[in-house]
Amino acid sequence: MKKRITFTSAGKLVFDVFLFLIFFLPFYWMVLTSIKTMGETLKMPPSFWVSNPQWENFVTAFNAIPFLNMLKNSLIVVFGTLFCQCITVIPAAYAFARYEFKGSKFLFGVTLATMMIPAQLIFLPVFLLFSQLGLINSYWSLILPSASSAFAIFMLRQTFKQVPEELLEAARLDNASEWTILRRIMLPIARPTVVTLALLTFISSWNDYFWPLVLTTNNTVRTLPVGIAALKAAEGGIKYHILMAGNVLLVIPVLAAFFIAQKQVIRAFTYMGEK
């Protein structure tokens, strides 16, 4: 066995708790503040427990912005993006993995290159493009820029490439069409990758603040993150208890997904680093 730097168990315990607090305390503080009264948030020293939780803060946050409408927008954008990515990414990944066609290397190179161009670099021309098309403040402007994903094509192509050739040959001998092969052989084998990528798209699309902020000029299609950020501009200064209540509502779906499928989520995000 290899040697390790040995911590005394007490030292390790102390550091474990320290580490836990650094990463957990901000979230605890968010939840705690969300059920405090305004007076309690302005109290010094602050209290670390609330005996009389103010659930109506959530109602206040809910009513301060068009919450339901923004939730609807978020869901439309998230599932619209997922749907579009399914129909664009899967065939592209299959073609890049399994066909040799003229220019395939070049086209795959273009795909990889687009992966490195962040939204933060091109948002201005994209905004101008959508405004020329008259699509600002429509769902199209929020879904189309991420209707395909170079990263997902890259990952799924890797998975498709690992499927043994014999399986496909056998299927072709049985006169299976390419569509049948994709549906009956490739996709079932690639299922873990597809689920992982879908999870990744769900989380990043749900969390996205930048595109909905720069590609909209009013509330009609704005999503929840933009709405929650608007809580800051409430009358009479920032009310942190309301703001935190809004944020709790925003993070719940993602944290729920994280707790249910922690392993897959970590894998989804660290994929790039592993390969």
CB of 230 to another protein, least distance (A): 10
**DSSP notation for 53-117:** --THHHHHHHHHTTHHHHHHHHHHHHHHHHHHHHHHHHHHHHHHHH---TTHHHHHHHHHHHHTS
Please check whether residue 74 is in contact with residue 265, taking contact to mean a CB–CB distance below 8 angstroms: no
**Nearer Cβ to another protein (59/167):** 167
CB of 60 to another protein, least distance (A): 16
Rg (CA), the chain: 24
* Structure token digits, residue 186: 């490739």
CB of 200 to another protein, least distance (A): 10
Q: Which residues contact 103 (CB under 8 A, 6 or more apart)?
A: none
156-175 b/e with 16+ CB inside 10 Å = b?
A: bbbbbeebeeeebeebeeee
CB of 256 to another protein, least distance (A): 11
Provide the phi-psi class of 236: left if phi over 0, else alpha when psi is between -120 and 50, else beta. left
**Nearer Cβ to another protein (149/221):** 149
CB of 182 to another protein, least distance (A): 9
Dist. CA 131–CA 214, nearest whole Å: 12
* Structure token digits, residue 57: 């803060």
**Nearer Cβ to another protein (59/272):** 272
**Nearer Cβ to another protein (59/256):** 256
**Nearer Cβ to another protein (95/187):** 95
Dist. CA 50–CA 28, nearest whole Å: 12
CB of 63 to another protein, least distance (A): 19
**Nearer Cβ to another protein (144/221):** 144
CB of 56 to another protein, least distance (A): 20
**Nearer Cβ to another protein (77/228):** 228
Give backbone dihedrals phi and psi of 154, rounded to 5 degrees, phi first. Answer: -60, -50
Dist. CA 253–CA 126, nearest whole Å: 29
Please check whether residue 234 is in contact with residue 189, taking contact to mean a CB–CB distance below 8 angstroms: no
